[in-house]
Structure 1
């Protein structure tokens, strides 16, 4: 009978360190607790990414420590689609915490964005295009509420999207950014965070915090930004924006990680994105688009 050779000792595999604690240690743990029991609950965490001509994308959505502890669903959602060879659609949404089914609104808004993008391109003026775009998304949410037997505001969600025009054959990468509510867009330019919307001056956003779809279609904000080589466009919900603007250590640490010559790998990005900071236990979603 053939003898099997004795295998050589396997080198120990280093473990993945716990998420970095920035500042004071939070009281709650960062591990999932009970599974949510609500209808169509999304997974605890989502990780995505892409490499496109001239762009590298990293994206993640993570359930907050408070929702993990109480077994409630992640109310954030995100969407990432390559429209064609030179256009990318990225969006994030944050269901209002006071609405039990708002996670369905966040998911529905992102899906509706992809389904209605054709109408966005029919208008040359970016403000007009954005207004029609969010009206169509709101209409889809109204239909979703009717089919599900919900009150319309049960699906209330903020919404933030960017249509990014990029091409390996041109020297310009332009992002058309729009939002309803307090989700945030920033540029990381030479290691410095630059707000995409004018009222964001390093303080907590308050003027747009109460606006949400499907009812807030009149409160659309629009910004257009060109990305230089090395720049990164960040789209995020307030679960990331709030600690970034209220705790300078958080913004500085993310800038240090995300200003490196090479964007992080998917595992690196998820670990970095999972940092912990006391008092900040909300759901957290971000899409990072580097121009390389």
Structure 2
């Protein structure tokens, strides 16, 4: 799709360079997963982009799917992350971000599942905000070990929480950074990405309690103060959305590698509408083929998780 044929070959070419002393760090070209819990069917995939395939670079996107608990008390987590472009080992940072948030959610899954069933959106938002901050904080803390600045050893992070209880149709999205959250309802795509109405945790207020407007941050360097430590890099705002699914809905969470062409290329959204408006969800290989639909000018990694509601 697009203005012409894609620049790169449709299949993988060069493998990433391997370190014989660190074979555990190898990243597969493609990861594919799926499940059926409660009233929803999950499909998830992460695919190396055409550009990385051509250059023999590893996939910077990471994908993690996990079920915590058993029966109707279980909670399903889908986490995806993208490492910082041009940072050595960015794929490791993405994988670590997914692992940190999975550990945090897994340790708190009983309380999170209870809050989901009870509809405590405020508790969910504040709790998941803390877990996300701690997880990404742990990731940034390891930057020095890599010889990098904290903002380089970081990642965008996007997550879905799905209760296994068929009587609970609340779906929770949370995360930090670029990507997309879409819903296909009655044959029409809707952008349901949360609006950023709140500032980052360490950002200054827009005005004083007395109502005086503060000077805008123009990105100018601040002279060091002998009384205060130098401020750290600004953090991206936390994103949160809890919504109630309807039978027939399809919810799609993805990294920016798929979100950008889905927003910009009408042919791609129309194609997925035709493919996903059928009687049931696609099988794993069919879902992989759908996500791999190529669009001229878009060659980044693509990671996506789609949830079909029964």
Aligned residue for 2:178? 182
CA contact (8 A) 1:240 1:284 kept: yes
RMSD over aligned CA atoms reads 2.4
2:163 matched residue in structure 1: 165
The answer for the alignment partner of 1:28 in structure 2 is 8
* Mapped contact 1:130–1:220 kept (Cα < 8 A): no
Residue 94 (structure 2) pairs with residue 106 (structure 1)? yes
Counterpart residue number, 2:62? 77
Query: How far apart are 1:174 and its partner, in Å?
Result: 0.7
Q: CA deviation at 1:146?
A: 4.7
| Kept in 2: contact 1:228–1:291 (CA 8 A) | yes
Runs of 4+ in 1 over 6 A off after TM superposition: none
Q: 1:56 to 1:22 in 2, by over 3 A?
A: farther
Provide the rounded CA distance (Å) in 2 between the counterparts of 1:104 and 1:216.
22
What is the CA–CA distance in structure 2 between the aligned matches of 1:178 and 1:53, rounded to whole Å?
21
Which structure 1 segments of 5+ residues have no match? 1-20, 201-213
Secondary structure at the aligned position of 1:116 is classed as: helix
Q: Are 2:44 and 1:43 aligned?
A: no
Question: d(CA) in 1 for partners of 2:289 and 2:174?
Answer: 28
How big is each residue's C-alpha offset from its partner over 1:94-118, in whole Å with a ceiling of 9 and x where there is no partner?
1121322221111111111110013
Change (3 A) 1:253 1:231: same
Q: Give the distance between the partners of 1:165 and 1:215, measured in 2 at CA.
A: 35
Q: Whole-Å Cα distance in 1 between the matches of residues 16 and 151 of structure 2?
A: 21
- Give 1:144 deviation, angstroms: 4.0
Counterpart in the other structure of 1:137? 135
Q: 2:267 aligns with which of 225, 249, 254?
A: 249
Could you tell me how far apart the structure 1 residues matched to 2:137 and 2:295 are?
38
Distance across 2 between alignment mates of 1:216 and 1:163 = 27
TM-score normalised by the chain length of structure 2: 0.76
Q: 1:23 to 1:254 in 2, by over 3 A?
A: farther
Q: Does 1:233 align with 2:218?
A: no
Distance 1:146 1:22 in 2: 42
TM-score by length of structure 1 reads: 0.80
Where structure 2 has 5 or more consecutive residues not aligned to the other structure, the ranges are 20-24, 197-231
> Could you list the per-position Cα deviations for residues 41-95 of structure 1 after superposition, in whole angstroms to 9, with x for gaps in the alignment?
4111111111222221111111111111111111011111112334211111111
Whole-Å separation in 2 of the counterparts to 1:128 and 1:106 = 23
Q: What SS class does the counterpart of residue 151 from structure 2 fall into?
A: helix
Match of 2:84 in 1: 96
**CA offsets 1:252-273 (integer angstroms, 9 cap, x no match):** 1112112211111111111121
Aligned length: 257
Displacement of 1:24:
2.9
Q: Distance in 1 between matches of 2:44 and 2:309?
A: 15
How many angstroms does 1:228 deviate by? 0.9
CA shift, 1:283, in A, is: 0.5
Structure 1 pair 178/198, CA: closer, same or farther in 2 (3 Å)? closer
Judging changes above 3 Å, is the alpha-carbon distance between structure 1 residues 145 and 41 closer, same or farther for their aligned structure 2 residues? farther
What secondary structure does 1:222 align onto?
Answer: strand
